[in-house]
């Protein structure tokens, strides 16, 4: 039981390049989330999904797209990376029950030059 | 909108000292409240939670009580250990169905031997 895994762990991009971050969970959770963590800002929600085939915007969605084609996977895409997207990205999942715990992945550290 | 304000750090304590990290919130309705902990180089993990007024969450010697009258959820521990060194995040989730979390900015705790 791996929990929540994220690929890759580290990545360096040049401005304008694109990439996809992959999140996978093996807990059969309905809800999945993408957050970014920046110094002094805490974690901010980018996008989330309440089930396979659904996605919704969070607090800071601009510049990102997501897809949830399979229940266990949640992909975060950057179409044209900008230096402002340099951050640590965390994926999380939960069972969807009221006040259920969110389980976090280990994070992806992205640097955009 | 919903928001969480927590004590700014960093906080440095000696082993066996008493810890308090203040957290207050603004929310419509009655959110669920959480404390998450992030150890160096890792993702977040749930420390404790409370779902209604006067509930006390507790885990690993940490405690927090949901105070509706003061809109607070302060984290306390009677005797900290070096292994408690981490970043602590207060968070709330609305009960609107998506269980999205709104985080405070985090408080870094360092415990010295």
pLDDT tens digits, residue range B5-22?
998 889 999 999 999 999
What pLDDT band is residue A34 in, cutting at 50, 70 and 90? very high
Contact B32 A96 (CB under 8 A): no
pLDDT at A99 over 60: no
Residue in B48, B101, B105, B106 to test binding to A, most A beta-carbons within 10 Å: B101
Nearest to A99 among B32, B41, B105 (CB): B32
**Are the C-beta atoms of B56 and B48 separated by less than 8 Å?**
no
Q: Which two tokens stand for residue B21?
A: 């990290």
Contact A104 B51 (CB under 8 A): no
Contact B103 A48 (CB under 8 A): no
Q: Which two tokens stand for residue A64?
A: 């990102």
pLDDT tens digits, residue range A48-93?
999 999 999 999 999 999 999 999 999 999 999 999 999 999 999 9
Task: Spell out the residues 6+ positions from residue A44 whose beta carbon is closer than 8 angstroms to its own.
Answer: A35, A36, A37, A38, A58, A59, A60, B103
Q: Which residues 51-90 of A are in CB contact (within 8 Å) with B?
A: 56, 58, 90
pLDDT at B29 over 90: no
Contact A101 B49 (CB under 8 A): yes
> What is the rounded distance in angstroms from the CA atom of residue A38 to the CA atom of residue A40?
6
Q: What's the rounded mean pLDDT across residues B41-57?
A: 93
Peptide bond into B16 cis (omega under 30): no
H-run or E-run covering A37: strand A31-38
Interface contact B101, partner A, CB < 8 A: yes
- Dihedral sign for Cα A81, B102, A41, B112, please: negative
pLDDT at B94: 75
Interface contact B51, partner A, CB < 8 A: yes
Tell me the HSE value of A24 on the side-chain side, using a 13 A CA sphere. Answer: 7
């Amino acid at each position: 039981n791996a929990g929540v895994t994220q690929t890759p762990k580290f990545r360096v991009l040049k401005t304008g390049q694109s990439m996809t971050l992959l999140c996978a969970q093996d807990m059969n959770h309905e809800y999945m989330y993408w957050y970014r963590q920046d110094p002094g800002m805490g974690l901010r929600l980018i996008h989330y999904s309440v089930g396979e085939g659904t996605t919704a915007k969070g607090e800071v969605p601009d510049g990102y797209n997501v897809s949830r084609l399979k229940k266990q996977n949640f992909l975060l895409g950057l179409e044209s990376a900008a230096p402002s997207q340099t951050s640590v990205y965390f994926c999380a999942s939960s069972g969807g029950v009221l006040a259920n715990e969110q389980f976090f992945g280990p994070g992806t550290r992205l640097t955009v030059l | 909108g919903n928001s969480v304000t927590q004590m700014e750090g960093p906080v440095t304590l000696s082993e066996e000292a008493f810890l308090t990290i203040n957290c207050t919130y603004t929310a419509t309705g009655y959110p669920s409240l959480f404390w998450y902990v992030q150890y160096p180089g890792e993702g977040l993990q749930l420390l404790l939670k409370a779902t209604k007024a006067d509930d006390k969450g507790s885990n690993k010697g940490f405690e927090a009580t949901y105070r509706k009258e003061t809109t607070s959820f302060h984290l306390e521990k009677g005797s900290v250990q070096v292994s408690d060194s981490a970043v602590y995040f207060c968070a709330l989730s609305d009960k609107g169905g998506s269980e999205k979390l709104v985080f405070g900015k985090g408080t870094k705790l360092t415990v010295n031997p």
